[in-house]
Amino acid sequence: MKNRNYGVDLLKSISMLMIVILHVLGVGGVLAGTIEGTAVNNAAWLLETMNICAVNCFGLVSGYVLCKGRYRRSRLLSLWLRVVFEALAITVAFAVLMPGVVGVKEWFFAVTPVLHDMYWYFTAYFALFFFVPYINKMIASLSGKEMVGLAFSVVFIFTFLGNITGNDIFHLHGGYGFLWLLCLYLLGACLRHVRIRPKINKYWFLALYFISTSSAWGIMEIFGSQSAIGYTSPLILLAAALLLLFFRRLDVKPQLLQKTISMLARTSFGVYIIHTHPLVWNHVLSGRFASYAEYPASLAVLAVILSAAAIYAVCTLGDWLVEKFFKLIRVDLLEKAVDGIGKKHSKNSRKSQNALLK
């Protein structure tokens, strides 16, 4: 805990709030309900642009944290159990409250979320997790210059070339998948290892984030191209990196604040799982906030942020309760058993090697 960077944890939780804001604007019907050229339309799209880098932040943080962390198989197991448990709990709730919308498919999808790509980010992360120890060994073997070269190659190939041609030549699917998450992991790991002058005031990074997102919004407005604010857009990727550079320099000292940030970081992925469950997505969130498009611009922005905060709070509470339940039934014993499999094998291998040497 002493070595924990609470600024990065804070970015993780803020990024999830930003993702909820995007969903209130998108599936919630705010963007679709505004008239192009109006003040509320411009404000809604500016808010969209300022938050669209949130998914990139999550990917960068994964690389930044896990590249130096201890690889444990149980990390994926516990996450998979949480996803399945919460998906089943939501399905049960809908089966009781809205039985007509729950069929065999919904039950089957709840217990096999990866096989049916129920949550695209979890599916991508599931695949990435198996490669993490090998990626980390590669990163650790690189010099500072080689890491800069790797980061430059990733950015040039997967952001500049794709956006210049206007075609998905490397099949990134707009950033919704394993390949883009892999790119983000590599970039996050490089940011962890490459030194940036400490004399640079951290607030410059925050100012440049606003400049980057505003520029992306301006390009979209002028040229009418939404690719400028996509996940793989150079300006949006830059915005995410700048936020990581800013938050990693934050010094969070009050112990109570540290515990709160740590809890929010732990439950942030649960917020994603709960509010993007297909039943919640289609029957609770879809079009729910379309009326905000009729508000004055400033009031509409405030309403979107407050609605997102309310969704975030409810989902955080839900995931926190699941966390407590898992502690109660001692899921940690299963995690320790899974982690112990490799240790026992390695110990037996070392004993065999020593016996042969003797």
pLDDT tens-place string over residues 251-304: 888 899 999 999 999 999 999 999 999 999 999 999 999 999 999 999 999 999
**What is the percent of the chain where pLDDT is above 90?**
77
Q: What pLDDT does residue 350 have? A: 53
Q: What pLDDT does residue 164 have? A: 79
Dist. CA 190–CA 186, nearest whole Å: 6
Q: Where would I find the H helices in the chain? A: 6-25, 30-33, 39-51, 54-66, 73-97, 104-111, 120-129, 132-141, 144-155, 162-165, 178-193, 202-223, 234-247, 255-275, 278-280, 297-328, 331-357
What are the average pLDDT values for consecutive 10-residue runs of the chain, which has 358 residues?
A: 81 97 98 94 97 96 90 88 96 94 93 92 95 94 93 94 82 93 96 84 95 96 88 96 95 91 95 97 96 96 98 97 93 85 57 48
Q: What pLDDT does residue 342 have? A: 60
Q: What pLDDT does residue 346 have? A: 52
Q: What pLDDT does residue 2 have? A: 52
- Counting beta carbons within 10 angstroms of the beta carbon of residue 198, is it exposed (0 to 12), middle (13 to 18) or buried (19 or more)? exposed
Q: What pLDDT does residue 355 have? A: 45
**Sequence-ordered list of residues with C-beta below 8 angstroms from that of 354, at least 6 positions apart, any chain:** none
* Lookup: tokens for 160: 């500049």
Predicted TM-score (pTM) above 0.75: yes
**Sequence-ordered list of residues with C-beta below 8 angstroms from that of 320, at least 6 positions apart, any chain:** 263, 267, 270
* Cβ contact 277:95 at 8 Å: no
Q: What pLDDT does residue 197 have? A: 77
Q: What pLDDT does residue 1 have? A: 45
* Cβ contact 51:123 at 8 Å: no
Closest CA to 213 of 230, 200, 225: 230
Q: What pLDDT does residue 352 have? A: 46
